[in-house]
Structure 1
Amino acid sequence: MAMIDTYKNNLIRKRQEIVKLSSDKAKESGKIQQLKTKIISAKSAISRSKQTSTIKSKLSEIERHEKSLAAIDKNIARIEGKIAAKEKEIAAEEKKILQEQNKIDTQRIKAEESRLKTYNRKMESFNHSLQQQNDIQTQLADEIEQLKYVPEKITVLFFATNPHNTDRLRLDEEVRSIQEMIRKSEHRDSIIFESRWAVRPLDILQAINELNPDVVHFSGHGASKGDLVFENADGTAKVVSKEAITQTIMTSSDKIHLLFFNACFSFEQAQFITEYVDAAIGMTTSIGDKAAVAFAAQFYSSLGFGFPVQKAFEQAKGVLMLESPNEKDTPALYLKDGVDANILYIVRPNGTN
């Protein structure tokens, strides 16, 4: 990892250099208007004066300012040349990072394949025993039976990310509203709400391993093709593909039943992940802060009253019709094949044992 860290540090440094060069360019550009104003003033003085000495002095002043303008133009061109060179260097560093990351990913895949081969060999040896095979079948039957029942307590894991180079979002307001609505719900003691902030890609697996949640909620910025925006170590945006997010979630837990993507253009991610989970919610287009907060808060409130996913989704859309009617069709619910959202409960309703 040392090499890729070196490339990343180089990239950060070069981006900082571009910021400095851009600042220098802005300062030089700021001088232009001042000089032009002085030239205009000198020309105006010439037009008003009849004294030869005054006219000569002002002409000399104009000539001096014009030379200064020419010098500034040259300096700006020089700075722009440096910026262009730095941009090429940044592109080269980004290419190195991508190549190094591909190497790391390849190594990880090979390690995982080796681990799976070892595991399969152990399983083959294990299955040679008839009694052990019977035990496995019994265990699987018990696990299938347990899946028929909704747990008494669930954990909702909320991931919040808003890199400093992206538009500001009211994620704190979203969390506050969701927690408040859960506290007001009938089954508030059945919902454990956990949040993680300034999330980096590797934080996803760590948090899921720690909490083993039933519901995972992503809130932040979405990108094209269902990708989501997380943070780099320096707080800048990092786009992660829907395939990578799905792989991370699905290899870390088989307990997750619902994914909530409260991010713009996240419907492709929601559609993609329902191959593995019962239900997912995504946004078909961009969604405003107010609408995102209102929809999410009401959805969890409805779950907290023991309603199935379909009713919770419809009630949340009802709130959008009241608060932000132009965005009522932005959220979309997607289901795994064979799943009926009308009987899909996340929180145990009244009367169930």
Structure 2
Amino acid sequence: MAKPYQIIYYRGFGSPNAVWLTGRVLRQNELTSPADRASFWDNLSATVSRFLTKEVGGITVRIETFGQTFRTVTNEEGYFDITINPDIELPAGRAWFPIRYALEGVQQPDTGEAVIKDGQLMIAPAYSQFGVISDIDDTVLVTGATSAWQTLRLTFLENAFTRLPFAGVSAFYRALQSGAVTTLFNPIYFVSSSPWNLYDLLIDFFRIQGLPKGPLLLRDLGLNADLLSSQGHHTHKRTMIDKVLSVNPDLPFVLLGDSGQQDPEIYADVIRANPGRIKAVYIRDVSTDDRRDAAVKALIEATADHDVPMLLVADTVAAAEHAAAIGLIDPDTLPEIRADRQADKE
């Protein structure tokens, strides 16, 4: 039996004049939602299915949004990537907008139905005070990214219900999205070197843990040595951060990451290249290497010359207390963040 066509869309983002959209077209059965008591074999089978994909290249994807139509073509791995310029007046007080993807000249093999996928894209409202760019692995999600075996074990043998967040993260990120006034909408972008194949797992994880909805900017790669390449990690994350900054030229940003890999180095580069754009940087201390700790502290001292506070924090509450003190979040959210941390630890 021929497998159905599937459009996998990744949440787009941008500004009224430039919106970046990406996704993938595959031939595969839709992945089922995870179960909190799924077996070892169920988790392994689901993850293997994410990587054993049949890509559909050279196919036209029609994109309908803001009353306009755009077209692009998938590459040999089934990915499509397009920046559109809708040039529109957006309604006030709204951040998420509908979008529809359809394959032209293609029908589902068994039913003859059109291949359509409805989704959403995010545009930061004019009243946003700042944006947030956050790493995922070992910043939001316990990954053990400094250990190849730990990363692979958690990726293949766990699911969105059984993966663990860092304590207090959900409440802190909700506070950042609301800002100091708690009635605002500050956009949050999640950047990771994890492959796009894990997109649905991460979306489910964020939903289950109550993390704010935002675009996830992952990486095009397979199961090979590049998965753990530090050079590829640095290049990808810097490229995605630059893309977010470029489509939000008037918005300052808060950056969040961890000390385990290259987040401090990447963020220090971003600060130097974008004077006045970065309000604060929070680095979760996950390293047990004294040399690594010394290197991170040296970067922190260097960023102080640019009047940007970069903090190496032991936990979410320490970051939240500083954010409240400099006016990034409402101090009244601190009790909820402390309670969330305690609940997660228990």
TM-score tier, shorter chain, comes to 0.3 to 0.5
Give the TM-score normalised by structure 1.
0.32
Structure with bigger strand share is: 2
RCO higher in structure (CA 8 A, sep ≥6): 2
User: Max radius of gyration: which structure?
Assistant: 1
